[in-house]
Amino acid sequence: MDKMIVGLMSGTSLDGIDAALVKISGHGFNTRVTLQHFISVPFSNKLKEELLDVMDVERSNVAKICSMNVKLGALFAETVMELCEEAAYPIEKIDAIGSHGQTIYHIPKTINHYIPSTLQIGEPAIIAYETNTTVISNFRAMDIAAGGEGAPLVPYTEYLLYKDIHKGRALQNIGGIGNVTVIPKNSELNDVFAFDTGPGNMIIDELCKQLKGVAFDKNGHWASQGRVHKNLAAEWMEMAYFKRQPPKSTGRELFGREFTRKILQENRISANDFIATATYFTAASIADAYKRFVFPAVHIDEIIVAGGGSYNTTLMNMLKSLLPGKTVLTQEDIGLSSEAKEAIAFAILANETLHQHPGNVMQATGARESVILGQITLPPNGDPKIMIK
């Protein structure tokens, strides 16, 4: 029986909330998915600054986190209502909402006295109450419990949607962070592996904000005007993260505002040169990850790029030049949406949770076993539409 599920995604780039209304039939390897409608609601500059404060170890505190958890929950609920209104689909007919939440801190490996952990906020009870709909959230926690890094989680959904008996594919997402899912041709789920390649748009966006007073480098315009300082990019590529074997994940803790402040303090080059060099750094980190960990293991016929970075023409041209002889496409090139991809993924993962079916890929997260992801929050008076197996 078909289900109508809303997927919500708010990523490390802090652009806003992506919401996808998805028709899903079946589950597991029999899943069939049709995108019905998609919207993206940008964060205000004020909210973005509040989120950055919440994520900053120097400026954050428990009161800020506590308040922002509920504030985001209300905003997620508003986004669902806006999505349904635009789609002319009655919200009471929605079967479930899959909410990724907003990651505010991610510790994939033990660091000093901090144990592996991850925290996503956006209170599901608020979403469930305001929409009167069952919410599945906190997808990463069970993978962490099983010894994984809790990321990346989209590889399971990418395998369902993109596996091909004739082609080896690399699914590259360039959001705030870059990550790749590798799907060998004619593969089983156990053949799939994935990991975070490093920075995506995060450093570029922060440079644009500090140097240009704009949120991002539209179409890679500023990068195209600057000169790439390859010596600087090579220095940044010496970071230990890039040499670490997968599975691995990273985030704003390594490539966020503090990294950008440091490189601005240590170097005296023009604004355009900074943006061009950071753009090259993202492309180089992706290409290096492929050469180190992907190409030696799997023959890749197509690299399919999604996320906001796929719209950065300069970044895409740099990536293609660093991967000569490889076919580099975008989601749009194969008739799909780069923007909607991750929101769709969390609708699919919510559906897997409701069927009590595992949704992680052990080779991607490093978990000891396949586990059911997500926690279920029922609306205040229950939900007769949800029959948990």
Q: Which residues are annotated as a binding site for ATP?
A: 11-18
Strand partners of residue 375:
137
b/e 331-345 (16+ beta carbons within 10 angstroms → b): beeeebbbbbbbbbb
Give me the residue label for tokens 């305001």: 130
Alpha helix segments (H runs only) across the chain: 45-55, 62-87, 124-131, 140-145, 154-162, 202-212, 221-225, 230-236, 240-243, 252-255, 257-266, 271-289, 313-322, 341-354, 362-365
Per-residue exposure over 254-269, b if at least 16 CB sit within 10 Å of its own CB, e if not = bbbbebbeebbeeeee
Percent of residues in the chain assigned helix, strand, coil, to nearest 5: 45, 20, 35
| CA dihedral (274, 286, 305, 56) positive or negative | negative
Residue 9: name the closest of 71, 80, 70, 66 by CA.
80
Q: Are 228 and 280 in contact (CB under 8 A)?
A: yes
Q: Residues for the chain: how many in total?
A: 389
* Contact of 124 with 99, CB cutoff 8 Å: yes
DSSP letters spanning 146-186 = TTS-S---HHHHHHHHH--SS--EEEEEESSEEEEEEE-TT
Which amino acid, one-letter code, is at 13? S
- C-alpha 51: how far from its chain's center? 17
What residues are designated binding site? Answer: 11-18
Distance from C-alpha of 145 to C-alpha of 133, rounded to nearest angstrom? 27
Find how far residue 349's CA is from the centre of its chain: 14
Q: Rounded to whole angstroms, how far apart are CA atoms 56 and 45?
A: 16
